[in-house]
Structure 1
Amino acid sequence: MVQTESIVLPSVDELNVNEVNLTYPVLKAAAFHLGKYCEFKNNEFMLCKCEQSDPRECIEEGKLVTACTLDFFKQLKKHCKDEFSQYYNCIDKASFNYRFNPCRKTQSVFDKCVLNNLNIERPMFGYYAQVKVHDSSRPKPKYNIIEFPVYAAPVSRDEPLLPPKYNSRRLWSQ
């Protein structure tokens, strides 16, 4: 991608953040509770990405999402380490495509532990697909609204019409 001199890129120090180095089964096992724990910060980040045309504007929101994720896994390790390790090991080893079905018993034990210690209830099925209104403290963006000309129909009721080629024109001109 071609850049001009007027574009200022963020420094490496601004972009440097602790990463979440976890495998797919671990992230899949914690996904529902993690989404609930970091919902507000994730919605802020996604709103920023959608509203801003420049990804450099959302660096701080992205750092907050990563910090929230790290905090969640620290809390999970502190309170539900054994239950969580049994659950993600079951997901990892019970099926070749990481299905939840063979691990419902370990899932219920893990869900109870998270509910009792972190006060996070597993969201209902379809929770993340529901439409929600996010109340943000960020200012609303200013959009450039493009006005398109509106063309009026050239045919009036008084003008005689040419004979239709396939059907009645009167059906559409009323």
Structure 2
Amino acid sequence: MVITNDVTLPEYSELKTDEVKLSTGALLTASAFIGKQCEGVNNEFMLCRQEQNDPRACLEVGKQVTACAKEVLRRIRKECCQEFNQYANCVDKSSRDYTFRHCRKTQAIFDDCMRERLCLLRNDFGYFCRARIHKSSSDPPEPPPCPCHPKVEDATPSLPDCKPRKPARFGGRLYWCND
């Protein structure tokens, strides 16, 4: 990536945060519950990235997303550790592309534990694809300034009037279609 001298990069201390150190299978196992519990913070982060068009402006919100995911995983480990480990192990080892179809029984056991002990339900299929309105707590960004165009007296020539045209001198292109 090429940057110029006028770009200020954040210090390492600003970027440092506790990361979620789990395998892909374990993250996929908890993804539905992390997605539901951290939906508001994650939407705020994505809105910040979209509006600011600069990831440096959204570092603090990104840290909040990571902290939320770690909190959900901490609660899962505290209440449903054995069920979580069985399901994550199944997802890790049952297929090379981490499909869930071989692990539906362990998923049902894990979902039951989450429902009974943490009162969390797995979302129905397509929940994260539905359109929702996010009420943001941050202020909207300033609209970009309008580009200044010099005012020129009638710079473009006017279009011809829309008068009816005469029929083509040698007939139309589709003369064989006329009935």
TM-score, normalised to structure 2, is 0.81
Residue 161 (structure 2) pairs with residue 160 (structure 1): no
* Residues in 2 aligned to 1:48 and 1:161: alpha-carbon distance in whole angstroms: 58
In structure 2, what residue type is equivalent to 1:3?
T
Kindly state the Cα deviation for residue 161 of structure 1 after the two structures are TM-superposed. 4.8
In structure 1, what is the Cα distance between the partners aligned to 2:48 and 2:94? 39
- Structure 1: gaps of 5 or more residues: 168-174
Provide the residue aligned with 1:38 in structure 2: 38
Please give the per-residue CA displacement for 1:119-162, whole angstroms capped at 9, x wherever unaligned.
Answer: 22101111111111110111112223768xxx9x9354435357
Question: Corresponding residue for 1:170?
Answer: none
Amino acid at match of 2:140: K
Distance in 1, matches of 2:139 and 2:166, equals: 54
CA distance in 1, matches of 2:83, 2:129: 27
Report the AA paired with residue 7 of structure 1.
V
Letter of the 2:24 partner, please give it.
Answer: Y
Instruction: Provide the C-alpha distance between the structure 1 equivalents of 2:29 and 2:166, rounded to a whole number of angstroms.
Output: 68
Residue aligning to 1:124: 124
Give the equivalent residue in structure 1 for 2:12. Answer: 12
> What residue in structure 2 maps to residue 144 of structure 1?
144
> What is the total number of aligned residue pairs between the two structures?
164
Which has the larger Rg? 2
Work out the CA distance in 1 between the residues paired with 2:35 and 2:49.
18
Aligned to 1:172: none
- 1:3 is aligned to 4
**Given residue 71 of structure 2, which amino acid in structure 1 is its aligned partner?**
D
Shift of the alpha carbon at 1:7?
3.0
Distance 1:38-1:159 versus aligned 2 partners, 3 A rule: same
Q: Distance in 2 between the 1:79 and 1:11 partners?
A: 37
Q: Are residues 156 and 26 of structure 1, via their aligned partners in 2, closer, same or farther at CA, if it must alter by over 3 Å?
A: same
Q: Which residue of 2 aligns with 1:89?
A: 89
Where do 5+ consecutive residues of structure 2 fail to align? 148-155, 175-179
Q: Percent identity?
A: 39
Q: In the aligned structure 2, how far is the partner of 1:73 from the partner of 1:99? A: 21
Opposite residue 158 of structure 1, the aligned amino acid is K
Question: Aligned residue for 1:54?
Answer: 54
SS of equivalent residue, structure 1 residue 99: coil
Alignment TM-score, normalising by the size of structure 1: 0.84
Distance 2:160 2:173 in 1: 18
Are 1:36 and 1:120, in contact at CA under 8 Å, matched by a contact in 2? Answer: no
